[in-house]
Chains A and B, each alone.
Chain A
Amino acid sequence: ETGVTQSPTHLIKTRGQQVTLRCSSQSGHNTVSWYQQALGQGPQFIFQYYREEENGRGNFPPRFSGLQFPNYSSELNVNALELDDSALYLCASSSEDRGYYGYTFGSGTRLTVV
């Protein structure tokens, strides 16, 4: 059983650029969530996708957007990058409608905006 995989592991971007982060969910999971973890803080919920539809959104601006694909993998897109977007971005998969109430996290993508 494969876990959650994220790519790339590290990324450096310039302020104003756009970035796409990718996530493959754990086998059998149909829900993907994205979190932002700034240095020294707990993860903050960005949004969740269930069956290719956004299923909840945290307090993040519209320049944070996402997609979920039919194979349940997902992308997080961030436009017009700001310095404060520098953080570890975590993807988590779950499958509540299949009785799994835990969230399996990937190892994250470390984004640095300069």
Chain B
Amino acid sequence: AQSVTQLGSHVSVSEGALVLLRCNYSSSVPPYLFWYVQYPNQGLQLLLKYTSAATLVKGINDFEAEFKKSETSFHLTKPSAHMSDAAEYFCAVKWGPAKLIFGAGTRLAVHP
């Protein structure tokens, strides 16, 4: 069965520092992969998705992620953190025709 592992339930960075949120998936076939962001008391907003095209995927708000098949990873990065990036981030993999399997989430804190 598919699974998604997000390393680090909490990540804290300084404003202006690099953001790196880690995601590993288990899959025997090329997956569709997603990163979502969730602000308090809100739904999920799609940051970016990988659908078997370019391995480096650019998303909104300067986020990007690189699909590495050999490492079964899809880590999310942003060169310079803003205070507004503080939120919960979820990595997800599409499994079969219907469902997304989500990781447990990583809470990003950005401090001045």
Chain A interface (Cβ within 8 Å of chain B)? Answer: 4, 6, 33, 35, 41-45, 47-48, 55-56, 58, 90, 92, 96, 101-108, 110
Q: A42-B102, A103-B34 are in contact. Are A56 and B97 (CB under 8 A)?
A: yes
Chain B: CB-nearest residue to A31: B98
Contact indicator B46/A106 (Cβ below 8 Å): no
The complex places the Cα of A74 from the Cα of B49 at a distance, in Å, of 25
Smallest Cβ distance from B95 to chain A, in angstroms?
8
Q: Which residues of A contact B100 (CB under 8 A)?
A: 33, 35, 43, 45, 92, 103
How far, in Å, is A101 (CB) from chain B's closest CB?
5
A44 contacts which chain B residues (CB < 8 A)? Answer: 102
A48 and B43 contacting across the interface, CB-CB below 8 Å = no
Which residues of B line the A interface, CB within 8 A?
Answer: 32, 34, 36, 41-46, 49, 51, 90, 92, 94, 96-105
Whether the pair B46, A103 counts as a contact (CB closer than 8 A) is yes
The reply to whether A33 and B43 contact each other, CB–CB distance below 8 Å, is: no
Chain A interface mostly helix, strand, loop or mixed? Answer: strand
Shortest A107–chain B CB gap in Å is 4
A42 B103 Cβ-Cβ under 8 A: yes
Asked whether, in the complex, the Cβ of B105 is within 8 Å of the Cβ of A107, the reply is no
- CB pair A45–B99 under 8 Å, yes or no, is yes
Residues of B within 8 A of A90 (CB): 43-44
In the assembled complex, the Cα of A102 lies from the Cα of B33 at a distance in Å of: 9
Query: Knowing A42-B90, A42-B103, A108-B43 touch, does A101 contact B32 (C-beta < 8 A)?
Result: yes
CB distance from B34 to the nearest CB of A (A): 7
Does B32 lie within 8 Å of A33, measured CB to CB? no
Please give 17 more A-B residue pairs, beta carbons under 8 A apart, in addition to A42-B103, A43-B90, A103-B100: A33-B99, A42-B102, A43-B102, A45-B101, A48-B98, A48-B99, A55-B97, A56-B96, A56-B97, A56-B98, A90-B43, A92-B100, A101-B49, A103-B34, A105-B45, A107-B42, A110-B41
User: In this complex, which of B32, B51, B97 has the most chain A Cβ atoms within 10 angstroms of its Cβ?
Assistant: B97
